[in-house]
Amino acid sequence: MHKFSAVIILSLLFTPAKTQEYLQRHESVDVRQYSINVEVNDTSSFIKGITGVKIALKKPVEEVVLDLASTDSEGTGMVVDSIFKNGIAVDFEHEESRLSLPVYNIDTTGVNYEIFYHGVVGDGLIISENMYGERTFFADNWPNRAHHWFPCVDHPSDRALVDFTVTAPSHYQVIATGTLKKKVNLPGKRTAHYWSSSIPVPTKVMVFAAAGFAVQYLESIDGISYSNWVYPQNMEKGFAAFTITPYILRFFTDMIGPYPFEKIANVQSTTMYGGMENAGNIFYHERSVTDNRSLEYTIVHEMAHQWFGNSVSETDWPHLWLSEGIATWLTDRYFEQKHGTEKLRERLASHREKIIDYSKTRLAPVVDYHTDNYTDLLNPNSYQKGSWILHMLRRKMGKELLIESITDFYEKYKSGHACTDKFMKVLENTSEMDLEHFFDDWLYSAGHPVLSLKTNFSNDRLTIELLQTQQHKMAFEFPLDIRFVLADGTKKDHTFDIMFRRHEFIIDMPSEPVEIILDPDTWLLFEQI
């Protein structure tokens, strides 16, 4: 996901169930497939829906609980009309956005539900006008907003196949997760569009869009269907903005492995975010598409998410950095490959400033269990600090071994989900290194080293006193490069292993340095005072 500064992100998201309950559900219930049939119209935010849910039971349970927004005081939300279980009408309870469905002892292997409902959409499916004043429909599910318009287990730990049947007025083009199977013209100038996926994904990235698109179908990229969907009014600029896509796709397939979905479609959209990595069809904020000078790295970031975030999802929201941090690091790698090491260092220095600034407003670890407002996790800890941690691992492990470890992690958990500890274990197995202390310092502890340096030069010796002055943690452990610049321009580089609150070093030096530079090659996340 890429944030877009001109878009106001919702300050509060409804949490349909506590994290612990989601994980309990995951231990007993596995949604295998959603069949979402939804009809939209040109006059209101009212929808009619029928969702089929195929569920496998991992152990005996008395009920299945799905998330579905209840109606609120303003009349938005969904009303359930009827539910059929294996073709037979059943009773149900729908309260506080929890849809409770019966399970009987005979349901030892699985159960199929068909849920009929209607209502006025308040979130999750954005029904609005685009920047040209034309009506649009965009599913915008991240992080847990899918339940506002269809019944589901709205959590990244549960992934399923999805089929969409989207019925819309015939003047709309429709795109959705998976591949288009057929279109059927219906009475009343309506068209039903049938899309079907062959790869399971979490609800956060299973979407559809309906709008007046100009669609560009291009030659497949290494066998992957490729298309661009933009508004007709900016068709020339829009199509031009995405011409870099094949190069980016090959960059990642060469580094990580084959692209994990049926298609790649770039979609101009009217949603909350600057970029949203929906599986196989990436949504880009409408205004960013008209300015291709700034779009390339958003495309890179969202493309990286197809592997990390979509194919491998985080087990739970506190581990969001496994999506956003890895995608940011991969974007940095692309930046380095295209523009060189010095430009990468400039980018890393900018990342470091954002991390330091954020720590002054909220001091929290990257793996953050202390918020239920998941949009709060779209912060420099998840993005820039996650990338910085991988950059420091690159120094510790070496670039090739780190890339191999990340690829191993992907291969082990693709089409699944993982947490930070599982990521660490893969890296340890591949590198044969003990990384527990590193992960404790940088991922499970808040903040970063704050360094203070005092020096004294006497008798051709330089005495250095180095202090870690951060208040929240006694000491981080890290290698620190220091460059000493002498009056004649000579540079002397030394590396010190830092592990205590205070260190004192004495170095032979022919003359007093005119400049002392900490971390000259940009390998350490730190703050100097």
Alpha helices in 200-340 (DSSP H): 235-241, 245-255, 286-289, 296-307, 321-339
The string of DSSP codes covering 356-367 is HHHHHH----SS
User: What is the residue type of 31?
Assistant: V
Alpha helices in 290-419 (DSSP H): 296-307, 321-339, 341-361, 386-397, 399-413
Helices (H) and strands (E) in the chain, counts: 11, 30
Q: Are residues 306 and 318 in the same domain?
A: no
> Which of 442, 463, 497 represents a domain boundary (last residue)?
442
Assigned domain for 379 exists: yes
Q: Are residues 481 and 521 in the same domain?
A: yes
Give the pLDDT score at 10. 34
- Taking the CA atoms of residue 377, residue 380, residue 381 and residue 386 in that order, the dihedral angle to the nearest 10 degrees is 120
Give the pLDDT score at 14. 39
Whole-number mean pLDDT of the chain?
93
Assigned domain for 371 exists: yes
Assigned domain for 430 exists: yes
Q: What is the chain's alpha carbon radius of gyration, rounded to the nearest angstrom?
A: 26
Give the pLDDT score at 314. 97
Collapsing DSSP to helix, strand or coil, 405 comes out as helix
Q: Are residues 223 and 269 in the same domain?
A: yes
Tokens for 397, please give them: 């492990």
Question: Domain of 355: which CATH number?
Answer: 1.10.390.10
Residue (of 295, 285, 296, 327) closest to 310 by Cα position:
327
> Which of 253, 288, 310 represents a domain boundary (last residue)?
310
Q: Are residues 89 and 215 in the same domain?
A: yes
From residue 32, give the alpha-carbon distance in Å to each of 29, 84, 155, 203, 511.
Answer: 9, 17, 14, 12, 71
Domain range for 462 is: 450-528
Q: d(Cα 256, Cα 279) in Å, to the nearest integer? A: 17
Q: Are residues 132 and 278 in the same domain?
A: yes
State the SS3 of 468-521. ECCCCCCCCCEEEEEEEECCCCCEEEEEEEECCCEEEEEEECCCCCCEEEECCC
Query: Residue 250's CB: how many other CB atoms inside 10 A?
Result: 13
User: What is the residue type of 261?
Assistant: F
Collapsing DSSP to helix, strand or coil, 351 comes out as helix
Assigned domain for 508 exists: yes
Regions in the chain scoring below 50 on pLDDT: 4-17
CB 3 within 8 A of CB 324: no
**CB within 8 A of 241, min separation 6: which ones?**
289, 290, 291, 292, 295
Residue (of 39, 35, 2) closest to 302 by Cα position:
2
Q: Are residues 302 and 434 in the same domain?
A: no
Give the pLDDT score at 27. 81
Q: Which helix (H) or strand (E) holds 429?
A: helix 420-431
> Which of 310, 332, 353 represents a domain boundary (last residue)?
310
Q: d(Cα 223, Cα 71) in Å, to the nearest integer? A: 45
Q: d(Cα 367, Cα 351) in Å, to the nearest integer? A: 18
Q: What pairing do the DSSP bridges indicate for beta strands 224-230 and 173-176?
A: unpaired
Question: Domain of 238: which CATH number?
Answer: 2.60.40.1730
pLDDT (tens digit per residue) in 255-294: 999 999 999 999 999 988 889 999 999 999 999 887 656 7
**Which burial class, exposed, middle or buried, applies to 510 when counting CB atoms under 10 A from its CB (0-12, 13-18, 19+)?**
exposed
Strand order in the sheet with 93-95: 63-67, 98-102, 93-95
From residue 406, give the alpha-carbon distance in Å to each of 87, 89, 238.
Answer: 45, 48, 33
| φ, ψ of residue 437 in degrees (nearest 5) | -65, -40
Give the pLDDT score at 8. 31
Q: Are residues 120 and 50 in the same domain?
A: yes
Query: Residue 206's CB: how many other CB atoms inside 10 A?
Result: 29
Count of domains in the chain?
A: 3
Percent helix / strand / coil, the chain, rounded to 5: 30, 35, 35
Strand partners, 115: 51, 83
Tokens for 133, please give them: 């004043």
Q: Are residues 280 and 398 in the same domain?
A: no
Length of the chain: 529
Q: Are residues 212 and 303 in the same domain?
A: yes
Q: d(Cα 405, Cα 471) in Å, to the nearest integer? A: 34
Orientation angle between helical segments 341-361 and 321-339, nearest 10 degrees: 150
Q: d(Cα 197, Cα 310) in Å, to the nearest integer? A: 13
Question: Domain of 511: which CATH number?
Answer: 2.60.40.1840
**CB within 8 A of 339, min separation 6: which ones?**
none
Give the pLDDT score at 1. 77
Q: Are residues 303 and 319 in the same domain?
A: no
Q: Are residues 335 and 462 in the same domain?
A: no
Assigned domain for 13 exists: no
Assigned domain for 6 exists: no
Q: Are residues 90 and 230 in the same domain?
A: yes
Q: d(Cα 142, Cα 203) in Å, to the nearest integer? A: 8
Assigned domain for 524 exists: yes
Give the pLDDT score at 349. 97
Assigned domain for 8 exists: no
